[in-house]
Structure 1
Amino acid sequence: MAEFLVTGSSGQVGRPAAAALRARGADVLGLSRRGGPGAVAADLLTGQGVDEALKSCGTVLHLAAGNNKRDLRLIGNLTAAAKRAGVGHVVLISIVGCDRIPLGFYRDRATIEQLALASGVPVTIQRTTQFHSLIDQLFSVQKFLPVVLGPRWRFQPIAVEEVVTRLVELAVGAPQGRADDIGGPAQHSMRELHAAWKQATRSRRPGLIVRPPGKLSAAYDAGPNLVPGPAYGQRTFEQYLREKYR
């Protein structure tokens, strides 16, 4: 079996992460329900085939996610099988501020972290800020609205490829538990992000930036989704937009 196993190896983060590990000369396999070239067949949701997939595997980079409650079962089945197989390191991605922002999806990320840390398997958890592509998508999906809506919060988007670089660095190193959070090169208001997107896409629709009421805005106002101090990421949101919409 491979030295490294990447779950979610066909996804936005998993595919380049597997490629980056192979570029280092590492022996890498992906994990998917159907298998295929460079991938082993296993189902993390049911646990079928996972023990066999992890046999003789040294490190698992866990990047598979359905973005729903099923992700709790994925991490449970993965870490249980990893413990049985004697896997030496499980690396997983999470979200900056997930334990302080009252969104169901974020609470699930925090629970996944807790399950991984309590599993008895050596783990490293890397929290990151939102990807550039997520901010872009927030605006792009509103293409049929007369105005582009956005919450009056601050964000610090980061490039996927820089997150991949960090995850690979962690995967080839020793387990760290909770690693230092990483974020993009700059913090922006939603108004600034929309202005950059509007210019890059040549959109004429105005933006309407509103402050949603309640606990969610109060939480975001405190800035738990931001990473203070020196930035990890170097690629700006404007650079991402120029390359995508040129």
Structure 2
Amino acid sequence: MEIVIVENKAEAATIAADIVEAYAREGKTLGLATGSTPVGTYQELIRRHREAGLSFADCQAFLLDEYVGLPREHEQTYYQTIRREFTAHIDIEDAKVHSPDGTAEHPGEAARAYDASIKRAGGVDVQILGIGSDGHIGFNEPTSSLVSRTRIKTLHPDTVRDNARFFDGDESKVPHHVMTQGIGTIREARHLLLLAFGENKAEAVAAMVEGPVSAMCPASVLQMHEHVTVIVDQAAAAGLEHTQYYAYALENKPGWQRF
């Protein structure tokens, strides 16, 4: 793992955008995550597209997950969210932005088909990830198999409760099932780019980076990947013990260089 500790989210967005830009310029396949964590990175990439001519026209993209049962036109589907927050503002064709079909008549079959479609496309070149406070990636929560494939998962009640804020605070409106790329699927991406911010992520980041590889912290499997970049702010890095081995983008901590 390459660990980069930054001063703030803006600095993280710049570094992450540098990494993604290198892949975009080569027309590579992007793995996109939704949620608040990557929004700054997407905003920086949109700025570069508008102001510096960065093109995504030759790229295609795959989403990590999707709610089961919500129609695609629903504003809270990840299909709509990624377009609203990122892809509608750049020059990638909508048909090249792929997401799981949460409205399929047979969700299990649709999950397997989505997994197969990633392979047919040649796989993901760079996968953007966040991490949950319990160490989950995608919707692979603790005890998920470390070799799992795209499949249907039941959301933990805490996740349903947390996501209710996007559904007018009404838990009854929140889907209880999702289609998510499995940990085994995620691990096949050539470069994993994980971002984490805030003290509530410190325990999970420490478990991911310095703890044992365990299904109880699904993100810990990233230790076994050949190319991982983890970008965290100081609060999220607070639980790390072996900081002498990590790179810094802080004024008082020399050692980090632009990729």
Fold-level similarity (TM above 0.5): no
Q: What's the TM-score once normalised by structure 2's chain length?
A: 0.33
